[in-house]
A and B are shown apart, each in its own frame.
Chain A
Amino acid sequence: MVRKAPRSTLFAALPVAAAVGVFGVSYGVLGTAAGIPGWQLVLLSVCTFAGSAQFAFVSAFATGAGPLGAIVSGGLLNTRYLATGAVAAQVLPGGRLRRLLLAQLVVDESYVLAVAAGTPARPDPGVLVAAGALEWLCWVTGSAVGVLIGNVLGDPARLGFDAAFPALFIALLWPLLDGPGARRCALGGALAAALVAPWAPGGVPLAAAALAGLLLSGRDGAGTPAGPPDERGDVT
C-alpha cells in the first residue's frame, strides 16, 4: 500500500466530516421522532460520539425496547472499539489519561482515515485525532440542528435518510477492499451479520460481524497485502 501524505488525508477528512454532520442531523430528527428529549440526544452525542450505537439506541426506544435494550444494543455495537481503541492506544501520544481522552475520538470514520494514512496495525495518530475532533464537532452540531428541525421535517424516510446509511457504509468499505484479506473479512462479516440478523436484534449481528472479522484476519493483516515488514506492526 502506498503511504499517502497526512495533508491529503486531512483534505479527504472534510467531506467525511460533512457527511458525519448530515448524519448527526438525521440522528437528531429520528431521535426526536422516537420521543427522546432533545437535550438528552445532544448530550449523548457529546459524551458517546458513536454514530451507529446512537442510532441503535434511538431505534431501541422507537421500537419500545426500553432503556436497558437501548444500552445493550448500543453497547454491543461499541465492543468493536475495544479492538480499535487498543490499536489506537499504541500510536496516540501522552500518558494513560491523555490517551484515554484522545481514544474517545476514535470512531469508524476517523479510524478508517487514519488507517489509510498509516497502516492497519499503526494508524496515523495525527489524522486520527484531527479527523476525530472535526467529526465530533460536526456530529454534535448536526445532532443539535437535527433536534431543532426534527418537528418541522416530518418523516425522515421521505428524504431518503434511511438509504443514506448503507450508502455511507458502502462508500467507506469500498476503498478498504484492496487485498484478499480485507475482502475475506468483509465477506465473512456480511455473511455473519446476514445469518444472525433475522434472529437477534440491534447490535448482535454487528458483534457477529466483528467476531468474523477477528477470526478471518490473517497473520499478514487484512489491509496490508505486501507492505515491507518494517512498516507493518513494528510495535514499539
Chain B
Amino acid sequence: MSGTLLAVMGLSALTWACKGAGSLLPRIPEPLARRTAGLAPALLAGLVVTEVLDGNWLPRLDAKAAGVAVALVLAWRRTPLPVTVVAGAAVAALLRALA
C-alpha cells in the first residue's frame, strides 16, 4: 500500500472521529455550546490571514493580494458570494496575464 493511500485513510479516519465525536459522546454543556459560537468567525479570519500571509510576516503585494483586496471591497459592498469569489480570482488571473 502506498504512502498517499495510507495518508488518505488516516485523514479520513481522523475527520470521521472529529465530526462524529459529538454524536457519540453525551450531550455537551450549554456554556460550551455558546462558546463555540466564536469558532466560525475566528477560523474564517484565520484562513484569510494564512492565505494572504503564506508563511510570511507581511503580505506580498502581488496579483493574489490584489484579488483578495477586490474580494474584500465586494464583500463589504454585500456583493453575492459567487460574484465576490469569481471577481477575486479573475483579477488575480488578469494581472498575471498582463504581467
Contacts and interface: CB of A to CB of B under 8 A. Distances in A.
A115 B43 CA distance: 15
Contacts of B56: 197-198
A153 interface: no
A186 interface: yes
B46 A189 contact: yes
A7 to B, nearest CB: 18
B37 A223 contact: yes
Contact of B38 (A70, A71, A194, A213): A213
B75 to A, nearest CB: 4
A173 B14 contact: no
B92 A160 contact: yes
Given A85-B21, A108-B44, A189-B42, A197 B50 contact: yes
Interface in B2-36: 2-12, 14-16, 18-25, 27-28, 30-36
Contacts of B67: 160, 163-164, 166-167
Nearest to B53: A197
A177 B49 contact: no
Interface in A192-224: 192-194, 197-198, 201, 205-206, 208-210, 212-214, 216-217, 219-224
A201 to B, nearest CB: 7
Which range contains the number of B residues in contact with the other chain?
35 or more
Nearest to A95: B23
A41 to B, nearest CB: 8
Nearest to A86: B22
A167 B87 contact: yes
Given A169-B51, A186-B44, A213-B43, A100 B85 contact: no
Given A71-B10, A89-B22, A103-B19, A169 B36 contact: no
A193 B45 contact: yes
B30 A233 contact: yes
B-side interface mostly: helix
Which of A19, A102, A120 counts the most chain B CB atoms within 10 A? Answer: A120
B16 A104 contact: yes
A44 B12 contact: yes
Contacts of B9: 47
30 contacts: A15-B81, A15-B82, A52-B47, A70-B11, A71-B7, A78-B11, A78-B14, A85-B19, A88-B22, A104-B20, A111-B40, A120-B36, A120-B37, A121-B37, A163-B89, A165-B51, A166-B47, A167-B85, A169-B51, A172-B81, A173-B48, A185-B45, A193-B45, A194-B53, A201-B55, A206-B50, A210-B43, A217-B37, A221-B34, A235-B27
Interface of B: 2-12, 14-16, 18-25, 27-28, 30-53, 55-57, 63-64, 66-68, 70-72, 74-76, 78, 80-82, 84-94, 96-97
Given A53-B11, A103-B19, A219-B34, 18 more contacts: A71-B11, A90-B33, A102-B23, A104-B15, A120-B36, A121-B34, A160-B89, A160-B93, A163-B71, A166-B47, A169-B44, A172-B44, A181-B37, A190-B49, A193-B53, A209-B45, A213-B40, A221-B34
